[in-house]
Chain A
Amino acid sequence: MVVITRRSFLKLSGTAAAAAGVGTLGFDLSQAYAKTAELKIKESKAVPTICPYCGVGCGILIHVDKEGKVIHVEGDAEHPINRGSLCSKGASLGQLHNNDRRLKKPLYRAPGSDKWEEKDWDWTLTEIVKRVKETRDKSFIHKEGDLIVNRTEAIASLGGAALDNEECYLMSKLNRGLGLVYFEHQARI
């Protein structure tokens, strides 16, 4: 048995009235819709990359338009591992770039402060280097008895499993050059 409610009636009336208004308000949406119907990747260039998520290593194509914007992301059909397919994480990759939540400037939080301050790169790197040097110099153990040990136990380095090999290599080199021994990353957890 169908029950009529005033509410459902009004709902439809409202929709219908609003719909009727589209034409009369002077908007012409037809162009906008025609545009989405066009194949959006027609004019783009596709740049191959590998998914940054799990350890499978699926191939992905990043479609970039003439203005350098990411307009589409899809699996790399030639890639032997995924043959164009992608899971939800891989398929969502465009939103890592097209994302207004991304950090765009270095941030600094002072002792006791409850907020971030935006800083420029030169200041940031200068201050970080100052702290690294000070901490290293204060804590450095050059020798234990006759044995040269060249280490600091006051600076730690964590992370790196999402970095490129070339980055990992430079990190390994720099950290060892500084004498770090508290040097760990996600493989341990």
Chain B
Amino acid sequence: MTNHWNDLANTDCALIIGSNAAENHPMSFKWLTKAREERKAKIICVDPRFTRTAARSDIHAPLRSGTDIAFIGGLINYAIQKNKFQRDYVVRYTNAAFIVDDGYDFKDGYFSGWDPQKKTYANATWNFKKDDQGNFLKDETLENPRCVFQLLKKHYNRYDADTVCKVTGTPKEVYLKVCEAYTGTGQPNKSGTIMYAMGCTQHTVGSQNVRSYAMLQLLLGNIGVPGGGVQAMRGESNVQGSTDFGLLFHMLPGYISSPQATPEYALLADYLKKETPASGYWVNKPKFFTSLLKAWWGDKATAENDFAYHYLPKRDPKKNYSHIALFEAMYKGEIKGCFVWGGNPVVGGPNARKEAAALGKLDWLVCMDLFETETANFWSKEAGADPKTINTEVFMLPVAASYEKAGSISNSGRWCQWRYKAVNPPGEARDDLMLLHELALRLKRAYASSDKPQDEPIKHLFWDFGNDPHHPDIEIVAKEISGYDWTTKTQLKTFGDLKDDGSTVSGCWVYGGMYNGPAKENNRARNRKTEKEGIGQHLDWAFAWPVNRRILYNRCSADYDGKPWSEDKKLLWWDGSKWGGLDVPDFVPTKAPSDPGGTDPYIMQAHGKGGLFAVMAEGPFPEHYEPWESPVNQQPFSKVLVNPVAKVFETEKGDNTKFPYVGTTYRVCEHWQTGVLTRNTPWLAELMPHMFVEISPTLAQAKGIKNGDQVVVSSLRGEIKCYVIVTGRFQPLMIDGKPVEQVGMPWHYGFLGLAKGSVANHLTPHVGDANTTIPEYKAFLCDIRRAN
């Protein structure tokens, strides 16, 4: 989230798209309800189905799953055509005025640089023109036909309401109501927020879906202001933190790229040259990266040995190591051992049957969880497997629940909050911190006597978390994350104190300064003071990274001269000598608006501006492409049906004559993810005891299905049996004049626990987003019939 949960109360209009906030982030409705009551805010729910969110919204606009870019593209077009965008914001705070490279073009569904043979893009032309001094060429009148704004206008001019609605299936009058209501936030005294979750990201165009939201917000001047922003509502309690700490193949802690096995990354200097931009806040990357290396290899990280840079694993640049690719490699027998630290891909992974089969190719599997998981039991008869034929050794380790241990977690609003231990875990269950500590110590012992250079990274791994052989001192771990001076061991106040000479340590620079002194009270995750009056920033409650900032890009809350755009939306202001107000400024507090870069609010960008035009895998502007499995064979925006650079691992796709319906998956309020915890919690299992699929009355009639029947839902990947809910909350959508039915189901269920049911992900494909390889769970083709 660019903003945070309490800030939803400051909005004038919430556009909930790609999320079912009332069910999956229920507390969001505490603050949306407040906004509605106190500010007369409007709530818009854009969703293929009528959800509990829709029930509490002012407008429910149905759209076909996988057509967000058409929907938002039309809003962008509307805002421009009707002059509803916030011009002053757009001119100076976004790259709208930048002049684009002469070679850039968009034709017949492809951007310039498309290589039809290799099926890849060369993106050299997706760039800006510079003058001789290296300054970006701009036209702040926004009239130059080659400026971003004009190219944007041209691109989305094609997204008129009629064409959009033909694709999305949204009734035009409802769509226009959304356009009118949401673009109303383009005024300086109004703000709108866009709230999304996996309904947005789990598509072959997922990243561009997010980008389209961000672009609309930039046009309307909605980023960096109270009640505005783009809110990625995270589905797990600490998926924000786990991402911050780089539990992903391509990223180290603090959003620093993991090195690749190419000469460009051979030495530390090469890495820094490749990864450090010439301008923007990332110029400090060498400080962050060196402090990370120092945190990991301590005394063994010296200036002479590149701070042990060569100890870091370098990934093969030709390989994709992401979730789907990982299971493809496992399926081929390339992976021998696997740890699952809380997770359940046999229920939650795409094409889950294939993922279960892949586990059978492992030599060993280690699972940690509170309850037995389907993944740890993939070999069992309940899983439909023959145990005799599966040779994988499996270890299932009992671990502590959240309040049976201490530690911090970071919510979607980047608030890092401390959790205290209330009770001991049951039996011999241990917390994961203990497990990691013991495994590390034992592995280091196992390699202690090795003199092979390849064993140095583990042998020399700096692991100094107290003297207890079982339990590490969590305070030391937290202090290492935050950062300290290597010589004096004093905690640093902010990541601004980090150095690139090996004199400082920080395990994750974005949390730099969170633990800013020796005492436990210095751990600001423990802060517990609420705001008595104000706009709900709660600066003394917990710690928000970075540097306790609550609203990102907050320079945008004031005009060029540093004056708030409106009294109602004021956040920060320039008092003549410094910035002050209701948040921690997103830039140097003494940088005057008239100083160089004084109107560059997007500090992480090299050019300091919001990216209306930005480099992505499939082009600089989001363009509508159909889901990989689509109910239509052509689409009106271009002849290119599917994202040409989507990550496709399947060899065959479902035929829309055999599988005519749009299938999608989702969650319900009462269960969480793969249900390991909630399906074993009696009170929750009772609330949602059965797996079900939801269909419209028209589809039910066509198929001779009655509410409460058992049905079989099938896709090219397989079929599942479950109950059916026949409901008016599902309706066919008119796509280019033809009704298209939708079939939806929760993905929480599996074969263990108190509440059991079929695994929805037996139907979903191994196909991913072009930028992130996030699976396309949300739109696939299926069929349904009554079970015999």
Contacts and interface: CB of A to CB of B under 8 A. Distances in A.
- The answer to whether A and B touch in the complex, with CB atoms under 8 Å apart, is yes
B312 A176 contact: yes
Contact of B387 (A59, A105, A113): A113
12 contacts: A49-B419, A53-B237, A57-B409, A109-B394, A121-B428, A128-B395, A132-B439, A162-B236, A172-B245, A176-B252, A176-B312, A186-B236
Nearest to A162: B342
Given A109-B393, A189-B323, A183 B248 contact: yes
Contact of B670 (A88, A150, A171): A88
Contacts of A53: 236-237, 672, 677-678
B429 A166 contact: no
Contact of B313 (A70, A88, A150): A150
Contacts of B252: 172, 176
Nearest to A98: B426
Contact of B242 (A163, A173, A176, A182): A163
Nearest to B310: A148
A132 B337 contact: yes
B541 A80 contact: yes
Contacts of A108: 393-396
Contacts of B480: 169
Contacts of A170: 433, 436-437, 440, 472, 477
Nearest to B433: A167
A48 interface: yes
- Which 8 A-B pairs give the minimum distances between C-beta atoms? A104-B427, A164-B407, A57-B411, A55-B234, A159-B343, A103-B398, A47-B422, A151-B313
B337 A68 contact: no
A185 B248 CA distance: 6
A116 B397 CA distance: 12
Interface string A103-141: 111111111111010001100111111011101001110
Given A49-B402, A81-B27, A165-B407, A54 B396 contact: no
A155 B338 contact: yes
Contacts of A165: 238, 241, 244-245, 407-410, 416, 478, 481, 511
B420 A153 contact: no
A159 B340 contact: yes
Given A47-B403, A52-B402, A157-B341, A106 B395 contact: yes
A41 interface: no
Contacts of B420: 47-49
B492 interface: no
Interface string B644-668: 0000000000000000000000000
B276 interface: no
Interface string B308-347: 0011111110000111001001100011111111110100
B236 A55 contact: yes
Contacts of A95: 681-684
A185 B196 CA distance: 20
A99 B681 contact: yes
Contacts of A139: 336
B245 A80 contact: no
Contact of A129 (B248, B249, B379, B446): B446
Interface residues of A, number: 109
B769 to A, nearest CB: 10
B341 A159 contact: yes
Contacts of B682: 95, 99
Given A103-B429, A104-B398, A164-B405, A56 B530 contact: no
Contact of A155 (B337, B381, B774): B337
Interface stretch (B142-150, B368-376, B728-736, B737-745): B368-376
A58 B6 CA distance: 11
Nearest to B315: A181
A70 B236 CA distance: 24
A83 B404 CA distance: 23
Nearest to B462: A173
B345 A158 contact: yes
Contacts, number: 470
B266 A147 contact: yes
A173 B247 contact: no
A187 B323 CA distance: 10
A136 B782 CA distance: 42
A107 to B, nearest CB: 4
A92 interface: yes
Given A56-B411, A164-B238, A166-B407, A183 B245 contact: no
A171 B253 contact: no
Interface string B375-397: 01001110000011111111111
Given A48-B528, A50-B402, A57-B409, 11 more contacts: A62-B423, A88-B683, A92-B684, A104-B426, A107-B396, A109-B395, A140-B454, A161-B342, A163-B238, A163-B432, A188-B772
B230 interface: no
A29 B404 CA distance: 34
A20 to B, nearest CB: 32
Q: Which of B242, B321, B407, B672 has the most CB of A within 10 A?
A: B242
Contacts of B330: 156
Nearest to A121: B428
A97 interface: yes
A89 B350 contact: no
Contacts of B477: 166, 169-170
A127 to B, nearest CB: 7
A51 to B, nearest CB: 6
A173 to B, nearest CB: 6
B438 A125 contact: yes
B583 to A, nearest CB: 15
B277 interface: no
Nearest to B436: A170
A127 B388 contact: no
A78 B528 contact: yes
Contacts of A164: 238, 241, 405-409, 419, 432-433
A6 interface: no
A173 B428 CA distance: 26
B654 to A, nearest CB: 21
A49 B663 CA distance: 38
A96 interface: yes
B343 A158 contact: yes
A176 B237 contact: no
Contacts of B258: 181
A125 B442 contact: yes
A27 B210 CA distance: 65
B417 interface: yes
B78 interface: no
Contacts of B55: none
B236 A54 contact: yes
Contact of A173 (B240, B334, B461): B461
Contacts of B683: 88, 91-92, 95
Given A95-B683, A121-B430, A184 B247 contact: yes
A48 B403 CA distance: 9
B249 A155 contact: no
A144 B532 CA distance: 60
Contacts of B598: none
Contact of A177 (B30, B234, B461): B461
A111 to B, nearest CB: 4
A167 B436 contact: yes
A112 B392 CA distance: 8
A129 B393 contact: no
A97 B423 contact: yes
A142 B453 contact: yes
A138 B401 CA distance: 35
A162 B237 contact: yes
